[in-house]
């Protein structure tokens, strides 16, 4: 499963970015360009998203294996993952620690999340759009407005709407992502029993207004990542890197040793 990537920068250590659910590699483009002055940056489209392959099922360890294949040809990289991509980054560090020099987890914990109803609402809204009748992106925005009233969230989702000739299509695998939301919220603990905790340096970046990284989850974080350091960004919610990009970048640069 060959993943689509965007490469930025020509010198320095490698930094690899993994996006969250309904995202794509280019979500990290602005931040990646800023880091490209000192690093070789790779923005990844994870399976089921963007221009990467779309398998028939969602499986975290299969997604992780695809990222491992992408990274195996070069020296260890700093891997940055947000939300769903944060789980992939964590699993990569656990299952293939030789590929991960440093780990950055943005607002995600190594636990099972059962509250996926909001994401199901987004999937249903996108699937209900009659793409054959849409002539302009603004019409799709209007069609999502009732189910997705937040314009920022709508804009994020609509980044996945692409013109294909005279018609429109979703670039992400809505059929599988919607069906397998429980798997996306899961954490494959039973499949990790043969692995050891990741002993490399870890930066955990949490949003102050988010409930994805809480004291309740600290034991699991410490068990798998004993060398982690947590930074909470004030005023930020779940999308910490887009809500507070300058603060996120400053924390990342410090962690990288820039």
* pLDDT in the model for residue 258: 85
Distance CA 132, CA 189 (A): 42
Sign of the CA dihedral with 254 first, then 238, 3, and 113 last? positive
**CATH topology (fold) of 5-113+186-256:** Rossmann fold (3.40.50)
Provide mean pLDDT across the span 43-69: 97
Query: On the CB side of 230, how many CA atoms lie within 13 Å of its CA?
Result: 17
Rg (alpha carbons) of the chain, rounded to whole number: 18
Provide mean pLDDT across the span 50-58: 96
* pLDDT in the model for residue 107: 97
* pLDDT in the model for residue 63: 97
Q: Taking 90 as the threshold, does the pLDDT of residue 128 lie above it?
A: yes
The encoded tokens of residue 71 equal 């990274």
Distance CA 130, CA 132 (A): 5
Provide mean pLDDT across the span 193-213: 97
* pLDDT in the model for residue 223: 97
Contact at 8 Å (CB) between 76 and 51? no
CA angle (230 as vertex; 226, 234 as ends), nearest 5: 170
Q: Taking 80 as the threshold, does the pLDDT of residue 109 lie above it?
A: yes
Contact at 8 Å (CB) between 60 and 160? no
Provide mean pLDDT across the span 225-239: 96
Distance CA 70, CA 196 (A): 22
Domain regions of the chain by residue span: 5-113+186-256, 117-179
* pLDDT in the model for residue 91: 98
The encoded tokens of residue 193 equal 């029993």
3-state helix, strand, coil split of the chain in percent (to 5) is 40, 20, 40
Contact at 8 Å (CB) between 64 and 49? no
* pLDDT in the model for residue 87: 98
Query: On the CB side of 1, how many CA atoms lie within 13 Å of its CA?
Result: 20
Q: Taking 90 as the threshold, does the pLDDT of residue 18 lie above it?
A: yes
Distance CA 169, CA 131 (A): 7
What is this structure's pTM?
0.95
* pLDDT in the model for residue 116: 77
**Nearest CA-CA partner of 107 in 240, 254, 252:** 240
Distance CA 118, CA 112 (A): 16
> Which three-class secondary structure state does DSSP give residue 243?
helix
* pLDDT in the model for residue 199: 97
Cβ neighbors of 135 (< 8 A, separation 6 or more) are none
Q: How confident is the prediction for the chain on average, in pLDDT?
A: 95
Q: pLDDT > 90: what percent of the chain? A: 92
Q: Residue for token digits 């068990």?
A: 223
Span 84-97, pLDDT tens digits: 999 999 999 999 99
* pLDDT in the model for residue 117: 73
Residues counted in the chain? 258
pLDDT top residue among 244 and 115: 244
């Amino acid at each position: 499963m060959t993943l689509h990537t965007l490469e930025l920068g020509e010198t320095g250590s490698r930094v690899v970015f993994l996006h969250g659910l309904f995202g794509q590699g280019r979500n990290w483009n602005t931040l990646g360009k800023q880091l490209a002055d000192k690093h070789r940056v790779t923005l990844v489209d994870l399976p089921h998203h963007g221009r990467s392959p779309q398998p028939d099922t969602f499986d975290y360890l299969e997604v992780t294996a695809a990222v491992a294949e992408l990274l195996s040809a070069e020296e260890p990289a700093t891997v940055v993952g947000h939300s769903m991509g944060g789980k992939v980054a964590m699993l990569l560090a656990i299952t293939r620690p030789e590929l991960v020099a440093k780990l950055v987890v943005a607002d995600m914990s190594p636990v099972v999340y059962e509250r996926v109803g909001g994401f199901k609402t987004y999937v249903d809204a996108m699937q209900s759009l009659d793409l054959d009748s849409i002539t302009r992106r603004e019409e799709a925005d209007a069609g999502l407005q009732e189910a997705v009233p937040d314009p920022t969230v709508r804009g994020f989702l609509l980044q996945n709407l692409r013109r294909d000739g005279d018609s429109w299509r979703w670039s992400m695998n809505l059929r599988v992502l919607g069906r397998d939301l429980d798997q996306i919220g899961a954490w494959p603990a039973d499949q990790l029993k043969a692995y050891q905790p990741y002993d490399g340096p870890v930066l955990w970046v949490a949003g102050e207004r988010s409930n994805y990284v809480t004291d309740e989850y600290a034991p699991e974080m410490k068990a798998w990542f004993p060398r982690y350091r947590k930074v909470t960004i004030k005023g930020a919610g779940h999308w910490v890197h887009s809500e507070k990009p300058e603060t996120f970048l400053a924390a990342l640069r410090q962690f990288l040793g820039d």
